[in-house]
Amino acid sequence: MAAVSGLFIGCLFSSPGRSQQTRADFKHFLGNLELDTLINSTPRKDPAFVLKKTDQSFTLFRKGSFRPICKINRTGKILWELCDGTRSPLELSAIIHKTHRVDPHQAYVDCLLFLGLLKNKGAVLI
C-alpha cells in the first residue's frame, strides 16, 4: 500500500497538515500526467474500484482484490464520491473549501495532489 499519509500532508489524507507545493512540484509528482490536463479535466472514479471503511479512515481497493490501493480520510471520501465526471478539480476544491472551512488555495492544492495520486493508481479517469 502506498504510504499516503506520510507522502501528502493535506486535508484529504489520513494525516492532515499544511503543504507548500508549487507548479513544478506538481509536475514532478504527477510524472507523465500533465498538470494542465488534470486542471481542465472532469475526473470520475473508475467503477473497478471500491472504497471501504477501515477503522477511522477509508481504504480504496480494486474490486475483487484484498490489496489496498491507499487510505483516505472522510474528506478524501467526500472528494472520491464527488468524482462523477461533472466537476473540475477547481469545483471539487470549492466544495471542500465550503464544507470543511479549508483555505481555498490549500483545498485546491490538496485536491490536485489527491486526484493525481488516484489517477496514477488508475482509480480516477480524467
pLDDT tens for the chain, 126 residues: list them: 443 333 343 445 554 444 455 566 665 665 545 688 899 999 999 999 999 998 888 999 999 998 999 999 989 999 999 999 999 999 999 999 999 888 999 999 999 999 999 998 999 998
> Which pTM value belongs to this model?
0.73
φ/ψ bin of 20: left (φ > 0), alpha (ψ from -120 to 50), beta (otherwise): beta
